[in-house]
Each structure stands twice: as structure tokens, then as C-alpha cells.
Amino acid sequence: MFFTDTHSHIYLPEFDSDRDDVMQRAFKNNINKIFLPNIDSKSVPAMLRLAGEYPQHCFPMIGLHPTSVKENYTRELENVELWLKKEKFYGIGEVGIDLYWDTSFRKEQIKAFSHQIQLSLKHKLPLIIHTRNSFPEIFSTLMPFSGKKLKGIFHSFTGSIEQAEKAIQMGFKIGINGIVSFKNSGLDKTVAALGTDHLVLETDSPYLAPVPYRGKRNESAYLLHIAEKIAEISGEKLETVANKTNRNALEVYGI
Ligand SMILES: [Zn+2]
């Protein structure tokens, strides 16, 4: 039995002092594939370095994160395109719209997201979508492209059952992380109603550590706690959760 962490930022400075130990703990817990979503032009070198050190286990993606969309976003998007010409990436991510912290670049975020949807279609790469306080904007930006072989993941999903079903209908999988283990998140009820057929697992390390590590630095090894929680909610065996979520990750990433 093994697991796929479909979303982990273990190339960030939070892991500079013990990154190899973090990787070994992931392997010990049977997490053997880790997909690395990018943030912006500054994070690319560290991400590619890690992917180069663990070519069988770490798979880099390229994209501009919505909270990094500022005045210079067109230059950042050009940078994404330059990298796409130079290196192999496994997805366009993470991208999307975040109106939780700051709405001052709302228009630019929508434009950057739309542009990166087109990059994902052009390069036939899955789209890894970050949605925060922005489901209406995300769906209306995706809409003109629906029916055009969109695929990818609604990462760190916290929406309603209806929003999950809409995402699935558009060709996406639903990324579930440690939030599912948080008391009062309500995500357990959504997962119970939705079932596991369209789910993928993710940690979003170093953020959102699952119970019993809530509030601490997250790492890929903790994916096991998320899988166990989903098994408990769905009433399925852990192995079934592993198999289904691996199959879904394979469908998204092709490896
Ligand atoms: Zn992320």
C-alpha cells in the first residue's frame, strides 16, 4: 500500500534544516509520490533543486499563486511561460483566486487565472486550483473553457457538496487535506456525502497539519492521518482509500 501527496511545498525554507529527514519519514509512511506546486518566480529554483534530488518521488509544477499576483503579474506570467519551455513540469499550479486576505488585485487575479487556464490547455497539463472566498469567480472564469478537456484538482477543498459536484462535472478532482480532521470544519460531512470516488489526498505542507499535529509544521508523512480520517468517515478500508486516491492522482498527473 502506498499514498500520493498531490500538493506539498516541502521545498520552502521551513524545511531547510531537515528536508532529507522529512523525505525519509514520508517514505517510511509509504508516501512515495509528492507533487510540488509552485508559488512564484522566487520559489522555482528551490523547487527544481528538490525535484532533481528525488527524481523518482518529487514532481514539480509551475504557476503563479493568486496571493503572489501583484502589479508585476504580467512579468511573472511571462516567467511561467519561459520555464515551460525550459523544464518538464507535471501541472500548472498553484493558480486560482484568493479573496480572503486581500481583494485589491481581484481583477488581476482573475486575468492571471484565465491566462493560466489557457496555458494548462495549451500544454495539456492539469490545473491545480486554489480557491479562497472565490467560488463564484473561479467558476465564472473556468466556464468559457468548459468542454475543452479541462482537468486538475480543486486543492484544499472546503466548499459545499454542490460546489464539489460542479467541479467534478467540469473534469476536476477534489483535494482533501488536514482540514478534514479539524473539529467544526464541516468538511467531514461534505466528504461523507460526496464519497471517495473523486478525491485525491494532499498535505499542503508546511500548512494545515492534520490532528494530532494541528498548528505545527505539516509534512508529507502526515498524509497517513488524512487517509485514516477519510477511511473512518467513508467506512472504507484504508487500502481502498489509498487505491482510489492513487488512481485519481494518476488520472490527473499521468504518473
Ligand atoms: Zn499550496
Tally the residues of the chain.
Answer: 255
102: CA distance to ligand 1 center in Å? 17
The grid cell for 136 is 463564484
Domain 3-253 has CATH 3.40.47.10: no
* The predicted structure's pLDDT at residue 117: 98
H-type alpha helices, the chain: 19-28, 44-53, 73-86, 106-122, 135-142, 161-169, 187-194, 223-234, 238-253
pLDDT over 90 (residue 14):
yes
7: CA distance to ligand 1 center in Å? 6
165: CA distance to ligand 1 center in Å? 22
Confidence bin at 123 (pLDDT 50/70/90): very high
Model confidence pLDDT, tens digit, residues 135-161: 999 999 999 999 889 999 999 999 999
* The predicted structure's pLDDT at residue 101: 84
69: CA distance to ligand 1 center in Å? 15
Model confidence pLDDT, tens digit, residues 51-78: 999 999 999 999 999 999 999 999 999 9
Place of cell 497517513: 224
- Alpha carbons 237 and 220: distance in angstroms, whole number: 21
3-state secondary structure (DSSP) of residue 96: strand
Q: Is the overall model pTM greater than 0.85, yes or no?
A: yes
214: CA distance to ligand 1 center in Å? 17
123: CA distance to ligand 1 center in Å? 21
* The predicted structure's pLDDT at residue 210: 98
| Closest CA relative to residue 199, chosen from 226, 181, 219, 221 | 226
| Closest CA relative to residue 167, chosen from 213, 127, 205, 203 | 127
What are the beta bridge partners of residue 59? Answer: 35
223-234 and 238-253 helices, crossing angle to 10°: 110
64: CA distance to ligand 1 center in Å? 11
38: CA distance to ligand 1 center in Å? 8
156: CA distance to ligand 1 center in Å? 8
Q: Is 132 exposed, middle or buried (0-12, 13-18, 19+ CB in 10 A)?
A: middle
- Alpha carbons 226 and 169: distance in angstroms, whole number: 25
* The predicted structure's pLDDT at residue 219: 98
Model confidence pLDDT, tens digit, residues 94-122: 999 999 989 999 999 999 999 999 999 99
Domain boundaries, the chain: 3-253
1: CA distance to ligand 1 center in Å? 25
